[in-house]
Amino acid sequence: MGAKNCLVGFFGVLVWFYFLFVFLEISAFIVNLGHDFPSLGKIFCYNIDYNHTVSSNWMWQTLLNVALLGFFALPHSIFARPVIKERLGKTKKGEGVSAYRSIFVLYTNIALHLLMKYW
């Protein structure tokens, strides 16, 4: 096992832990856990009904929502292309380790995190 395989594996584990945090955070977001239980509000600070981080201007909210939706939808179109898969090191079965899936999961988790923050 080479150094590249170890780094890709370590990166994958870090992305998995971030995914786990975002999964717990989206669960808390949906049920307003941070608002209903203030002691948990420091960990799960985003709420679906009580988010006051966004301006009340409807034009700004619309532009922000379209931008966030595009940012979330972008990887589903870009990461599916064979050229991108090759550049990110996607391999065929049994050919070695690839960071492709970890990069895709990281990108979508960041997008989901931003969606919760600016909901």
Q: What confidence tens digit (pLDDT) does each residue in 3-21 have?
A: 777 888 899 999 999 999 9
Three-state secondary-structure class, residue 43? coil
Structure-model confidence comparison of residues 15 and 59, the more confident one: 15
What is the pTM for the complete model shown?
Answer: 0.77
Domain ranges within the chain, ordered by starting residue? 3-117
Q: What confidence tens digit (pLDDT) does each residue in 65-109 have?
A: 888 888 888 877 887 787 877 777 766 665 666 778 888 889 889
Q: Give the per-residue pLDDT at 13.
A: 93
Alpha carbons 47 and 117: distance in angstroms, whole number: 8
Alpha carbons 62 and 58: distance in angstroms, whole number: 6
Alpha carbons 31 and 19: distance in angstroms, whole number: 19
